[in-house]
Structure formats: C-alpha cells, structure tokens
Amino acid sequence: MKRLLYITIFLAIVGSITAQTEDQKAFPCRYGDEYKKLDFWLGEWDVYVKDKKTATSSITKSEGGCTLHEDYKTLTNFFGRSINYYDPKDEKYTQIWIDKFNGITTFKEVEARKGYLKMTTDDGNGTLTNMDYTLDETVGHVTQTMESSKDGGKTWKRSFKGVYKPRNEGQ
C-alpha cells in the first residue's frame, strides 16, 4: 500500500514538473528574471511632480509576459506610450517611448537591480538622457527621474522627477 502511495506521489511530481517545463517553453517571458526588470512599476498610478498631481499612468503586462505597456497622460492633455521589453540580442532591457507628436525615443538598460532600473539614450546630437525608475518599498511608490547631459556625461541636468503613487491613494 505504501509503495502505491509513493508511486502516486512520484508520478504527480513528475507530471507537475513536465507541465511547468511545457509552460516555460510556451511562455518563457513569464519565468526569466530578465523579462521582469520593471515589473515593480505595474499598476494604475497618479503621477506627482513637486507634490502636485500632474498625470495618470497605466502600466500593464502583456498576456505572454514579454512586454510591459505604459499609457501616460498629463492633466494638460500631453500623452504618450511606451513598450518595454528584454532584448535578447544585446541582453538589455529596452524602452521605446512614443509621444503624441510621434516623437520616438529608445532607451537601453545601463543598470538594474531589485526595485531599480536605469536606462539611457543618445540623441545623436551630443545629448545623453538617463531615465531612472526607483521603487520605494516602504510606501509602494515609484520615482521616475530623467536627466540630460550635453557634455558627454560630465554634468547632468534633471528635466523630470515624477512620483508614481497608486491611483486614488488615500481617497
């Protein structure tokens, strides 16, 4: 009787491992950490600049887990979208931002760790732009900071600092 129980448990474990392996093959982006570098940003957000709500943002993950989508809209009717993904060709997390004027900017990962991602872009005309995303785990907010350099990275000027707070927090 014990032998039958052990065989049943063994077969259940093997079946579970096989099913998980098949799911990993079908949806690899759901499992690799390289695809999850901005997952801390997922959610429905109100965006604050200097403690004043200036925008809303919706960050969602695609069904297969390979892309993260951003829909951003200011209270003054500026909007844009980004598609974020891990690029296996250069092994970097990538963001393609497109604004309402069809301005397209591609950022590439420079540094990543739990709750933090830094990306950069070079406009080809001597301006470098860094974009940082930092999770404050104590309050569940994400801070997005953008800074630019016109001297090859010797000096930087901040152009944006937005604090993403869960939508309607405190209401």
Tens digit of each residue's pLDDT (9 = 90 or more) over 1-30 = 666 555 555 434 544 445 558 878 888 898
Sign of the alpha-carbon torsion through 125, 133, 78, 80: positive
pLDDT in tens, 70-104: 999 999 999 999 999 999 999 999 999 999 999 99
Per-residue confidence (pLDDT) for residue 120, from 0 to 100: 98
CA distances from 58 to 45, 69, 103, 166 (A): 6, 8, 20, 10
Per-residue confidence (pLDDT) for residue 10, from 0 to 100: 46
Residue 40: partners with Cβ closer than 8 Å, 6 or more residues away: 115, 133, 135, 142
pTM for this model (two decimals): 0.84
